[in-house]
Structures are given as C-alpha cells and as structure tokens.
Structure 1
Amino acid sequence: MNQSTPADGCWSRIGVTGDGSCELLTEHVHCRNCGHYGTAAQRNLGREVDDAYLREWAEHFRAPESAAEQAGASAVAFRIGAEWLALPTGMLVRVAPHVLPHRVPHRGSRGLRGIVNIGGQLHPCIALADLLGIDVDGGSERVGRHTFARLLLVRWEERAYALPVADLHGIVRYAPARVQPPAATINKGVQRFLSGVVTEHDMRIGLLDAGLVGHQLARALR
C-alpha cells in the first residue's frame, strides 16, 4: 500500500533503530516505552488518507478469495515426540491437564495405558505414540513459548478416548486445496495414517486420517 507514514522519527535516528545515542533510552530502555513514540503513533493513526489509498484497500478487500485460499477446514494440532500432527476439530471434545493413567488389570492391548478421570468421568487413555510408532523422547520445546503436556479427549463412534500429547499448538485452519502429500522422509509408521500435510508458520503438520486413527483407537480396547 502506498500511503506513507509520518516524517522520519527520532527512533530511527537516535533510538533503537538508529545509533542508540538518545539520552532517554537509559530511562525507557526501548523507544516504544517513550512518550514521543506514543505521540507519533497516535498522529500516524489519525492522519488523513487520500482517495487513491482508500480505493486501493477497497479493491484489496473486495477481491474474492480463490478456492485455494479459502480456509474451509480445520484441525487441532499437537506434538508427540518430534512429530507435529493434527486430528479434525470435530473429533475434539475437550483439552485436559496431563495426569498419569491408572493401569487396567489383565489388559495389555497395544497403546492402552490405562484409564483417566476427566471431568468426573473415566476414559481409556490411548497412546498414539505406541499406535503410530513414534519415539516420545524425540522433539524439543519451541523457542519463545511454554510447553505443557496435555490430554486430548477425542470422540470416535460414540466413545471418547484420552490421548496424551507432549505439546498443544491449537486449532489450525487451512484450505483443502493447499494440503500437500506426505514427504517420503516422514516416519513410515506415521505416514500410512496421514491424509496429507499442511504448513503453519514454521511447522509442517501431518493431518491424521480420522477413520484410520479411530479404527486403531477402538482396536486398542478389544
């Protein structure tokens, strides 16, 4: 967009984006904490704009999104080991704090860790790491954010399952036309459960096929 900002400010000459010689930096540390910077921001927001600028933005927002840009699907993204994965948002019931499951006597099905209490109800705790062959010791915390293990309570065919995850990113929205095929380098155990891969910021997230995963969850209780 072509509309210019107010005249060059002191922050770009003697402030944090300049030579740093401003005496007020000793007190304020950063220009954004200074009253001069705040006044300039208010003046910038209150400036008059010309007709060409208004027309340019009007054309920008009037243009229809292409089919490839319409984010008509969503999934809840989480990390297990080093793998960022996602399940359709419609499967998610709730997010709960991570708790240790209680073992179920005489039940040793693959993936079944036990039962957990979520909201006063008992649910089977199924480890996707076991079902998908993921090393839970892999991966690391993302820089600049706190990482907390969670339990995702998901529903498949009238039954709810608690899935332990190492980190929760949240809901991602994406255009189905932009879903990419899984890379050949992805863990083979995971790859066969993926319907595709989407990019979210610096992450590549594997979209799990709800039907295939749901079948494995139900199978773990047999």
Structure 2
Amino acid sequence: MNDAHSISNVTTGDRTILNDCWNKIGVLGDRTCPELETVIHCYECPVYAAVGDSLLEREPSTDYLQDWIDILGETPASSEINEGNEAIIRTSEAISIIIFRLGNEKLALPVRMLQEVTHPCVIQPLPHRSNELFLGLVNIRGETLLCASLGHILHIEATPATNPIANAINLQRMIVTGQGEDKWVFPVDEVHGIFRFHLNELQDAPVVITKAEEGYTKGIVYWEGQKVNYLDSELLFYTLNQKIL
C-alpha cells in the first residue's frame, strides 16, 4: 500500500489533515489505486471508512462549544432577507426541505424524511417483480433497500443528457428517504441542497400540476425564481407501499 493510500491522518494542532486518497488515486482522482480492482469503488475501501470513523471520533477543538454558543446567541428569532425584489421573513416557523431535479421538474421532500444522498448504485431487478415503478434492489452501505422511480409515479418525462459523461459524474444521484425500516431509494438527476422556507412561503398547489392521477404535491415554493413542487411524503410512501409491497 503506497503513501497516498495510508489510513493514518496528520494532525497539526486543532486541525486534522485528511488523507483523501480517493481524490488523488481513487474514483475522483486518476484511478491508479490498485485496490480499485478489488473494491470497485472507494466507498467500499477500508481506508475510506477509517477516515470517516476518525472524523466522527476526533476530539472537538477547544473553542468548538464556545463558537457555537456565540453563533446561536447572535442568531435572531426572525430575520428579513431580501431576495430579488421580494422580502422574505424567516422565523422558527419554517420547514426544511431537500430540493432536487427530476427531468425538467424541481421537487422537494421534507428533510426529516432524508436519510442519505449517494452516487448511483447498481440496481438489481427482481424477476417477475421489477417494472417501470419498482426498479429493483440497491445495496446502500450493506443495507438492501427498495428502489422506485419517482418519474414514473409522478409522470415526469426523462430528459436526455447533453453531455452523458458530465451528467453521469456530476448530476445523477440517489436519495435514500424514509423513517425507521420504511426506506426507499429514488434515482434523481440533480440534488440542489437543503433549504429552509417560512410556512407562509408555501403556496397551495394548483388543481392540475402533472398528469399523475393523484395529487402528490402538497404545495409550491419558489427557489431562485423557479417553481418547486413540495411533495406530500406521507401520500407518496403510502402509495409506494400499496403498489409494490
């Protein structure tokens, strides 16, 4: 194992310098790491796992708690933020959502339902079970989960990638959602991130949004001037369980 693939990190004072070999010789680097022939992806490499464990187990800096006390102490209960020509009031009465793209549609789910965002994984179809809605099974960090197509249930047409190589590397993602043992994996085209919106910004959904028979949109929010369909996660999961399980 060469130096770039060493498990140990270097600690200087309160700062830990990570050995991010995956960015150098791994899947995000030049792919010269000999371990890739065995593990296929850096996520399955013990070096990657050890670095993650070291981050979780490291001692916090001496000023860590005080820094957060100062930050929280300076955060006002409400603040007015001018975005474009619209003044938006953000208070504790807010919703946190993850915004992602599927085809030409911007969609959102409540953050409480989000488990993980990951790179595309191999989808293993099940004989006589897999179809356009139920794509099959995926392995997420050793856990076998059900994978379904949001595009099919919402009747969203896929858009062809103008640059397939760039699209595969930078855009396509899988989001793991659910609570407890009720988990689902959805392939999506792009994940924009997690955002907070005041409840007053959530507008009623129009009577007809998509061609879907059921209205899975709970409301509409606007992000960067674009409409985002905030999905009814309870109805969505209920429907998936009824149609697939």
TM-score by length of 2: 0.57
Moved more, 159-168 or 145-154: 145-154
> What are the superposed Cα offsets for residues 113-141 of structure 1, whole Å, 9 maximum, x if unpaired?
01011111111111111111111127989
Unaligned residue ranges in structure 1 (runs of 5+): 1-60
Please list, as runs of the form range in 1=range in 2, the aligned pairs for 1:120-135 lying within 5 A after superposition.
120-135=142-157
CA distance in 2, matches of 1:184, 1:129: 19
Greater Rg by CA: 1
Q: CA deviation at 1:210?
A: 1.3
Q: Which residue in 2 is equivalent to 1:179?
A: 202
Q: Which residue in 2 is equivalent to 1:57?
A: none
Secondary structure, aligned partner of 1:189: coil
Q: Which residue in 2 is equivalent to 1:208?
A: 231
Would the aligned equivalents of 1:172 and 1:200 in 2 still touch at CA under 8 Å? no
Which of residues 202, 212, 217 is equivalent to 1:194? 217
In the comparison of the two structures, how many residue pairs are matched? 158
Secondary structure, aligned partner of 1:215: helix
The answer as to 2:118 corresponding to 1:96 is yes
Counterpart residue identity of residue 210, structure 1: S
CA RMSD of aligned residues (A): 3.0
Q: 1:200 to 1:123 in 2, by over 3 A?
A: same
Q: CA deviation at 1:88?
A: 0.5
> What are the superposed Cα offsets for residues 6-57 of structure 1, whole Å, 9 maximum, x if unpaired?
xxxxxxxxxxxxxxxxxxxxxxxxxxxxxxxxxxxxxxxxxxxxxxxxxxxx
Q: 1:205 to 1:190 in 2, by over 3 A?
A: farther
Secondary structure, aligned partner of 1:187: coil
The answer as to 2:168 corresponding to 1:158 is no
Moved more, 97-106 or 74-83: 97-106
The answer as to 2:105 corresponding to 1:105 is no
Counterpart residue identity of residue 74, structure 1: S
> What are the superposed Cα offsets for residues 150-191 of structure 1, whole Å, 9 maximum, x if unpaired?
110001463111110011111121001111123466323287
CA distance in 2, matches of 1:167, 1:120: 24
Would the aligned equivalents of 1:180 and 1:197 in 2 still touch at CA under 8 Å? yes
CA distance in 2, matches of 1:92, 1:181: 23
Q: 1:190 to 1:138 in 2, by over 3 A?
A: farther
> What are the superposed Cα offsets for residues 100-119 of structure 1, whole Å, 9 maximum, x if unpaired?
31111121465100101111
Secondary structure, aligned partner of 1:155: strand
> What are the superposed Cα offsets for residues 77-99 of structure 1, whole Å, 9 maximum, x if unpaired?
11111110001000000111112
Counterpart residue identity of residue 109, structure 2: L
Identity of aligned residues (%): 27
Q: Which residue in 2 is equivalent to 1:118?
A: 140
Q: CA deviation at 1:75?
A: 0.7
Q: CA deviation at 1:213?
A: 0.7
CA distance in 1, matches of 2:77, 2:141: 46
Q: 1:215 to 1:109 in 2, by over 3 A?
A: farther
Would the aligned equivalents of 1:81 and 1:136 in 2 still touch at CA under 8 Å? yes
